[in-house]
Amino acid sequence: MIISFEGIDGSGKSTQAQILADRLEHEGRTVHLVREPGGTVVSEHIRSILLDVKSEIDPFAEMLLYSAARAQLVRTRLRPYRDAGDVIICDRFYDSTVAYQGGGRQIADLAWLDQFQLHVTGGLVPDRTYLIRVSTEIGMRRQQGRTADRMERLGSAFFDRVIKAYDDLAEKHSDRILLIDGDQPVDLIAEVVKADLAQLPAFLEGLG
């Protein structure tokens, strides 16, 4: 089973991904927590380029770099893990590229980019995506005091467009994406995820 967590920087998605991974491991499940971009040697090298504030990258080239890191992750780790019946938790997956490069950068139509990412992953789609939604203001406030990477420095107008793209994705893929209010306490969000996951057929099948 593949579970992804999405949201803008500062949404708390990474915290929720870690909480879920810890809980499922405690329950005896074999869990792999991966981050994007990253998760393999090649993908981590690409990550360092993408997030380096000194990198000057054309927006379309940026999208291709994210996609290259994802293709490597899917083919060398995610597919083997899934075929083994393990649980995979992704701290970001291809919805991030659609929202950030499609919505934020406005490099292409969201529908086209959504379809392109299916080619990148070879048709691999999360069984469930948890979209932790917060406003741009809250996301930025939560990141105060830390050094911002290249993407985090793009400003409020950019992140407003990213949020709008995420909202559009949640509406389009409502059967897969669960929109969660990220203003709630961390433990309450974790309970929402736990309750939702417990009733998903793909998760229940893995208990057999």
CATH of the domain at 23: 3.40.50.300
Cβ density class 108-133: b for 16+ within 10 Å, e for less: bebeebbebbeebbeebebbbbbbbb
Q: What pLDDT score was predicted for residue 150?
A: 81
pLDDT at 23 over 90: yes
166 domain residue, yes or no: yes
Instruction: Write down the mean pLDDT value for the chain.
Output: 95
Report the domain count for the chain: 1
The predicted model gives 32-59 an average pLDDT of 95
Q: What pLDDT score was predicted for residue 116?
A: 97
Which residue segment(s) compose the domain that 121 sits in?
Answer: 2-203
193 domain residue, yes or no: yes
174 domain residue, yes or no: yes
208 domain residue, yes or no: no
The predicted model gives 38-65 an average pLDDT of 95
- Give the CA-trace dihedral at 58, 173, 177, 208, to 10 degrees: -120
Biggest CA–CA distance in the chain, Å, is 49
Tens digits of per-residue pLDDT, 121-140?
A: 999 999 999 999 999 999 98
Residue 87 and residue 127: Cα distance in Å, rounded?
10
Residue 73 and residue 140: Cα distance in Å, rounded?
29
Residue 173 and residue 167: Cα distance in Å, rounded?
10
Tens digits of per-residue pLDDT, 146-185?
A: 777 888 888 899 999 999 999 999 999 999 999 999 999 9
Q: What pLDDT score was predicted for residue 207?
A: 61
124 domain residue, yes or no: yes
151 domain residue, yes or no: yes
153 domain residue, yes or no: yes
15 domain residue, yes or no: yes
Instruction: Give the global pTM.
Output: 0.94
The predicted model gives 77-86 an average pLDDT of 97
| Range from 46-50, 94-98, 131-135, 143-147 carrying the lowest mean pLDDT | 143-147
